[in-house]
Chain A
Amino acid sequence: MPTLAFSSQLINLCAALLLLLSFAMLSQRRVLTLVDLFAMQGGTLFVSIIVVAWSTGQPHLYYSAALTLILKVILLPLILHRLIRRLGAQWESETLLNTPITMLAGLLLVIFAFTLAQPISQLANTVARGTLGIALAVVMLAFLMMITRRKAVTQVIGFLAMENGLFFAATSATYGMPMVVELGVALDVLVSMVILGIFFFHIREQFDSLDLHNMESLKED
């Protein structure tokens, strides 16, 4: 068992990586690279959960780490890769809104998340207490990505990245939720991925593209 100070450093490193990956996703234009970034984010999450489990000796966190590994690092990226290939969208990239402004907005969100999480982090007594702010920032950056992108696949990746941030929040603040809840959440994520996969095909069939620009008929006039 490593010393708490050392593992706390490791977790902070993972948190920094998660945040970095979130920014990378925010500025990435190619869909396939985005999936890889998402898988890397899942991998970092997995490592951080393992470190927390190892340093605190919480046995149920190992299960939760295994769940993350299977779902977020292997299964979901695999499904996304296959979907993108079957949709023939592997070379697609999308024009981003003004990148510097998006990045700046991202920075502001991070500051906001830290301010919001500050009073709570001080109450935490877990090894990873400094990281709640980062977890919230990851959630908000994923949210920003969903707002700024116009492609169905990227919105879904944003949705899944948001889930990553939430899982990170759960481990960093509380050593993970009760097992039954984590299983339920994982099941929901998996099922939603399958449903969204079916949806991609419906969308393409109806609109001839996965671009959500076409989906603006239902507006209040």
Chain B
Amino acid sequence: MELLMLLGLPLLGSLLLALIGRREWAPEANVLMSAGTFAAGVWLTAHVIAHGPMLVWHEQFFIDPFNVFLVILTSFIGLTTSLFSRPYLRTEEQHGRLNRGQLRLYHSMFQLFIFTMLLALTTNNMGILWVSMEAATLTTVLLVSLYRTPASIEAAWKYFILCGVGLAQALFGTILLYFAAEKVLGNAGSTALLWTHLNEVKGQLEPTVLSLAFVFMLVGYGTKVGLAPLHNWLPDAHAEGPTPVSAVLSGLLLNVALYAVVRCKVLVEGSVRSDLAGNLMMGFGLLSLVLAAFLLWRQKDIKRLFAYSSIEHMGIATFAFGMGGPVANFAALLHMTVHSLTKSSLFFTVGHATQKAGTQVMDKIRGLITSNPTVGWGLMLGTLAILGMPPFGVFTSEFLILITAMREHPWATPILLLGLGVAFGAIFSRVQAMVFGEPSLPRLPHPPALVPVFAQLALVLMLGLYIPPHLAAWYREAARLIG
């Protein structure tokens, strides 16, 4: 029932907004739908906490502590993004960059995107997971090309082709997984792609097939996570799409893709009994971290800057999942949470700042702290949080990851520190100049939505200082499940 509401509301919302999207109050309807989805997410979480993991509708859906926390995070960021997009898109409309038809497309596709994300998270079927990831690509392609400028069309095309090809690899991996599973489970009743069944028999799955399957799935879903060297689509899609879309791409899509990789990893580790999967993930993770950190220095566009920072953080989380073990997994889950919260709030403030400045070029954005103190402070605090300054939550997770790396893989520690240090220098110097400095910016026609920004940053701060015991127990449980 909770699940039906969770999945039904965004789907209904996308239909509804496709019909009424031209009305004046469509943004409010969007907020309402997202709020409903978030309420359903909370309800579902309460249910899972009270009664443990649930398996519903002919075992097609499976909720355990690992995905339920992503469900609630996804629906929460869906809600805050819809709050942010309300004034943001109205301003864009007044600036003449978007018309009503495009707004209708935006709202409808936004809800559909949230639906595909939630479906990918809750489904128990590895095939449906693939289908919803592909559907998420399709909805976001339309969102990225919303402005219909040459650059946005180019970015969307690149995104589509790269992710389409990547996901084709993942489908091949899924076919191989099915092939291995069918030998053990038989293909009667099509249970052989259900994750719970696969997890029960993972020890009997053929190791050679599974290792090959994992390579394909890591490359496939890894393209969507934005792991180097498959990250090329990510900065373009983030920079050229509307800012709310950048926020959900960074805050949600990358997480869900990483979730898919981790689900595969659990199966493969159980079958292969070697560190192949973990080592591959650690390698890709470190490469993404270091490459993104150095590329950060060359960025001129503020949204590209934070897009590269997303690659960097996804690299860190992938590395941590690759190390495995209770502490690293705990840290990786925490890192996914705080990164989503911080990065989406950063994109919200960046959205308002670029609207004020009328440009995304960092050299032309100056003096936010005097022209609009709340936007300025939001950007500064968000930047400090994402750079892993104590007492924010990112510090906690990165610290945990670092000490685990020191203990178990000492060779990786200098690389991690190098990446983090280089990224710190690149981002901090740019943002400092944008926040402080000579102001020259006009006012915005619609008051910026800064409540979500500070609410999310407060959550990140809280997670840095104090993780509620419930949440900690929950992360530990999820970390144990991942193994």
Contact = CB atoms under 8 A, between A and B. Distances in A.
A89 to B, nearest CB: 17
A184 B138 CA distance: 13
15 contacts: A162-B165, A163-B168, A170-B178, A174-B175, A175-B187, A177-B178, A177-B193, A178-B125, A181-B128, A184-B128, A188-B131, A188-B134, A188-B135, A218-B240, A220-B298
B175 A203 contact: no
Given A162-B168, A173-B176, A174-B187, A207 B150 contact: yes
B165 A174 contact: no
Contacts of B142: 195
A191 interface: yes
Interface string B168-183: 1001101110110011
B212 A178 contact: no
Q: Which of B151, B153, B179 has the largest number of chain A CB atoms within 10 A?
A: B179
Interface in B115-138: 125, 127-128, 130-132, 134-135, 138
A112 interface: no
A179 B190 contact: yes
B150 A217 contact: yes
Interface string B187-217: 1001011000000000000101100100000
A217 B239 CA distance: 13
Q: Which of B158, B161, B208, B236 has the largest number of chain A CB atoms within 10 A?
A: B161
Interface stretch (A13-21, A64-72, A79-87, A119-127): A119-127
Contacts of A203: 153, 157
A5 B399 CA distance: 62
B171 A166 contact: yes
B154 interface: yes
B363 to A, nearest CB: 15
B155 interface: yes
Contact of A146 (B154, B155, B165, B236): B165
Given A120-B176, A120-B208, A166-B171, A188 B153 contact: no
A202 B145 contact: yes
A123 B206 contact: yes
A206 interface: yes
A183 B229 CA distance: 32
B151 A184 contact: no
Contacts of B132: 184
A136 to B, nearest CB: 7
Contact of B127 (A152, A177, A218): A177
A181 B131 CA distance: 7
A128 to B, nearest CB: 12
A166 B240 CA distance: 32
Interface string A150-194: 001001000100110010011001110111110011011001100
B295 interface: yes
A177 B154 contact: no
B76 interface: no
Contacts of A177: 127, 174-175, 178, 193
Nearest to B60: A180
B149 interface: yes
A152 B161 CA distance: 10
A136 B168 CA distance: 11
A120 B212 contact: yes
B145 A199 contact: yes
Contacts of A120: 176, 179, 208-209, 212
A154 B236 CA distance: 22
A143 interface: yes
A202 B212 contact: no
A197 to B, nearest CB: 12
A195 B298 contact: no
A218 B233 CA distance: 10
Contacts of B208: 119-120, 123
Nearest to A206: B150
What 6 pairs between A and B have smallest CB-CB spacing? Answer: A181-B127, A178-B190, A184-B131, A215-B154, A188-B134, A206-B150
B157 A174 contact: no
Nearest to B156: A199
A123 B181 CA distance: 12
A124 B178 CA distance: 12
B160 interface: yes
Contacts of A146: 161, 165
Contact of A181 (B125, B151, B153): B125
B282 to A, nearest CB: 23
A85 B177 CA distance: 41
B148 interface: yes
B314 interface: no
B165 A159 contact: yes
B165 A143 contact: yes
A32 interface: no
A116 interface: yes
Interface in B276-313: 295, 298
B172 A169 contact: yes
B141 interface: yes
Contacts of B178: 170, 174, 177
A37 interface: no
A18 to B, nearest CB: 15
Given A120-B212, A173-B176, A180-B128, A195 B141 contact: yes
